[in-house]
Structure 1
Amino acid sequence: MRILHTESSCGWGGQEIRILTEAAGMLARGHQVTILACPNSNIYPAALERGIPAVALPIEKKRVGSLLAMRGWLAQHKHEFDVINTHSSTDAWLAAVAGATLSGMPPTVRTRHVSTDINKSATTRWLYLNATRHIVTTGERLRRTLNRDNGFPLNRMTSIPTGVDLERFTPPLSRSAARAKLGLADKPTLGILATLRNWKGHGYLFDAWPALTERFPDWQLLVVGDGPQRQNLERRVAEAGWTNVVFAGNRDDVPDWLAAMDLFTLPSYGNEGVPQGIMQAMACGLPVVSTPVGAIAEAVLDGQTGTLVPPQDAAALTEALAALMGDATQRQRYAAAGLAHARATFGLERMLDRMEAVFGAAIAR
């Protein structure tokens, strides 16, 4: 197959990582893949660094210039692709409107990565049900929500969580050795891996940290990721005088940092499918404390692979984390169950198989 991914987002997070992971996997299977992205985006240079063909096009905004750029490029190159996979609102609209004015366009598959509401206007319904051949969601709850709230037929949607490379993300032989490799203090470690955005819930984790560090002074907090909230979070650490909080920034060696953790948390309160950080953490044998937003509950099975707490509830988060920080046996139980769930559900090859099937069906219709 010849696959074109379009992405108008200039940011960096799980959505962009999924596109890159999927593109690399499809290339390895012998498909042709190209990513169409903004020249000032993070995904464009990241694609080139990974050897994924990428084209820079000014498609970051819903404006006439972006539409003309998209239409002009598609008019010239549409015959080179069998299917288009759109990912964000802007590129989906640009591709749809441009495609409506061109003949011989390949079918479009829209991937919905987040749980934000979709408006019920006639134009939006046209975008999803007329201009799009099939919808992929990154969690079953997202699929069910679109059916319930927007009336999108279930047979027009498929839930395909992001795949994790289970050969790369594995439990470490020694968490102490992993910490030594990274130059971290050899202490029990609570960790979070996520873009530093408001809705990822770092603020609530920091609200919980004073009580946690008082009850468990031997523990440290490891923050992996970067983003617009980093300065605010670093300021909170400095003002509180915490010496047991480490900011690692964005990392390519994510498995090494997960290997250094004993407990993982993501107190997100919005805009989620099934976050990759949670799936990666479970594949690395970590128990998880999170919230039931988006489709997180499809990964974190409450009371089996981890604990779910209400979003934006620092007190509940504190108690859930404290319960596991003080109970190594329970952490091990959750970790073992989470690892088994990850291996059965989150494999990269499983995602690629299912995306191939969706693309193939869209092309055949």
Structure 2
Amino acid sequence: MRIRRGLAAWFGSQRRGWSGAHCGIPQGRRDLRHKFVGTGSRSRLAVDKLGGRPANASESRHCRPQPRRRHFLLGQQRPGFQRRYYRHQRSDLSIDGFRTSALTTNVLLCRIDGNFGGVERNLLSLATGLDTSRFRPIVVTIANDGELARMAKAKGIASEFIPMKNRFSVMPASRALIDIARRWNAGIIHTFGLRSNLLAALARKHLDGKWIVRLPNINRRDYKNPIQGQIFHWLNNSLIRRADALQVISPQLEEYIKNRPHPPQRVFLIPNGVDLSIYKKQGTGERFRQSYGIAPDAPIIGGVGRLDHVKGYDILLEAFRRVAQIRPDARLVIVGDGPLRLPLQKQAESSGFPLPVVFCGYVTDIASCLEAFTLFICSSRSEGVPNAMLEALAMGIPVVSTRVGGIESILNAGVNGILIPCNDREALASAIMELITDEEKALRYGAAAQKRIASNFSLETMLERVQTMYEEVLA
């Protein structure tokens, strides 16, 4: 169709002059100004309302079909000349069985599909909560077609997959992202993580939509090797400069970004949100206690997250060893999976004093675990605003956390929780003992935190802010 229209425009200009009928302009719209787009750098051609004559006759040659060109990233291109307004004039179209309206902006939500954690849950909550009359989400998983893609399909959300043979095959993956964005006519590409940021940055010049980066934290502390962390931190900072907008989730991160050289023009502060209809305490977690053989009156100290170095579970085990010597009835429950599960299990069984620790592995129903917790622990070495902590606070569970990342924007020490220095075993053990022995203080902290989450960190508030960000970026 595009080739025929291009040929019609060329023959019309050569044989019969510039008339609207031979330039591919629909009947009834020849009195308007239209823009034609080709593949060349000087490819815009304005047609005035007097008979379809080109406004600039010197550029009439750009209305002709352009020869096929090869590009190192795009590969073989289609011949040029398509009407820009034509794509937005259609009432609707169908892509892979999903119907989309011309008034709806398609949003690509891009994330590498690895362990299903807080970022993946946040992305899925965003995809299911967007107003589909304004924004239609398409979940794009990279490298692995795993749990995120499966859950998106189960909820009826359109999904795409970009395969990667290894971490260095970024050029084919960038071409795949360009193809997906063009096929869906994506107005926004929203990336979550370094790998998706890299693909979007490579494809940026060839994408018509706006690129938004979600930055959860300063990721140089996410790696055990400090040199590797510094390299990835530098790479991510260099990539996000090209983005149209940046979404940060804490005031501390917003201040850090704005003080950096060459920050993005638009920075939006949008904290994570919690679905308050799901995360509300409805019982004492009797079913959870029975399934793991925990006594009804035993205090449960719990943590939720992937078993990785950055989460600091090795520090939590050492602190709990001191707690278990004073309160042998206490139990430590760790929900999540990851590469450090076996080393952590060996650490819990070492030193001739096996700890009463329960490793639950990956759990889909986090709320059923949280309602059994007496105390929630965040021992991370680096964090943004952890979803698991927000969910625990929404259920009125008192929290002890390290003072890292954006956690200070949630917890006020002595008001709704306890903050301790990072990697401090003694301080963590002391804070745990303080709250499991003083039940009145624990209940007071939990009630204050629950009120703060309901007023500032609800899922509805997050969705409203994200959609406002989309509209401002598109304006």
TM-score by length of 2: 0.70
Aligned to 2:367: 255
Residue 119 of structure 1: how far off its partner (Å): 7.3
| Segment of structure 1 superposing worse, 6-15 or 351-360 | 6-15
Corresponding residue to 1:165 among 244, 256, 275: 275
Report SS of the residue matched to 1:80.
Answer: coil
Residue 114 of structure 1 pairs with residue 217 of structure 2: yes
Residue 48 of structure 1: how far off its partner (Å): 2.4
Aligned to 2:327: 216
Letter in 1 for 2:342: Q
**Off by >4 Å, runs of 4+ in structure 1:** 27-30, 59-62, 117-126, 175-178, 180-183
Residue 58 of structure 1 pairs with residue 163 of structure 2: yes
Report SS of the residue matched to 1:146.
Answer: helix
Report SS of the residue matched to 1:99.
Answer: helix
Corresponding residue to 1:318 among 424, 429, 447: 429
Aligned to 1:282: 393
Residue 174 of structure 1: how far off its partner (Å): 3.1
Residue 362 of structure 1: how far off its partner (Å): 0.9
Q: Distance in 1 between matches of 2:180 and 2:431?
A: 55
Bigger CA radius of gyration: 2
Residue 111 of structure 1: how far off its partner (Å): 0.4
Q: Distance in 2 between matches of 1:340 and 1:105?
A: 42
Residue 122 of structure 1: how far off its partner (Å): 10
RMSD: 2.5
Aligned to 1:15: 119
Contact 1:27–1:33, Cα closer than 8 Å, also in 2: no
Point out where structure 2 has 5 or more consecutive residues left out of the alignment. Answer: 1-104, 221-229
Residue 84 of structure 1 pairs with residue 84 of structure 2: no
Percent identity, aligned pairs only? 27
Letter in 1 for 2:430: E
Contact 1:301–1:307, Cα closer than 8 Å, also in 2: yes
Corresponding residue to 1:128 among 227, 234, 240: 240
Cα distance change, pair 176–304 in 1 and its aligned pair in 2 (3 A): farther
Residue 308 of structure 1 pairs with residue 419 of structure 2: yes
Aligned to 1:25: 129
Q: Distance in 1 between matches of 2:133 and 2:165?
A: 30
Cα distance change, pair 36–291 in 1 and its aligned pair in 2 (3 A): same
Cα distance change, pair 178–94 in 1 and its aligned pair in 2 (3 A): closer
**Residues 131-176 of structure 1: CA distance to partner in whole angstroms, max 9, x if unpaired?**
31110012121111112244526x6211211111001001233355
TM-score by length of 1: 0.90
| Segment of structure 1 superposing worse, 333-342 or 109-118 | 109-118
Report SS of the residue matched to 1:110.
Answer: strand
Residue 348 of structure 1: how far off its partner (Å): 0.5
Q: Distance in 2 between matches of 1:123 and 1:170?
A: 40
Higher normalized helix content (fraction of residues): 1
Q: Distance in 2 between matches of 1:122 and 1:298?
A: 25
| Mapping for residues 138-177 of structure 1, pairs under 5 Å | 138-150=249-261, 152=263, 156-176=266-286
| Segment of structure 1 superposing worse, 192-201 or 88-97 | 88-97
**Residues 309-359 of structure 1: CA distance to partner in whole angstroms, max 9, x if unpaired?**
000111111111111111101100100101101111110011100000111
Contact 1:38–1:44, Cα closer than 8 Å, also in 2: no
Contact 1:59–1:67, Cα closer than 8 Å, also in 2: no
Residue 128 of structure 1: how far off its partner (Å): 2.4
Corresponding residue to 1:339 among 441, 447, 450: 450
Instruction: For CA contacts below 8 A with separation 6 or more, give which structure has more relative contact order.
Output: 1
Aligned residues: 358
Contact 2:240–2:246, Cα closer than 8 Å, also in 1: yes
| Segment of structure 1 superposing worse, 233-242 or 352-361 | 233-242
Letter in 1 for 2:216: H
Cα distance change, pair 199–246 in 1 and its aligned pair in 2 (3 A): same
Report SS of the residue matched to 2:301.
Answer: strand
Residue 113 of structure 1: how far off its partner (Å): 1.7
| Segment of structure 1 superposing worse, 22-31 or 231-240 | 22-31
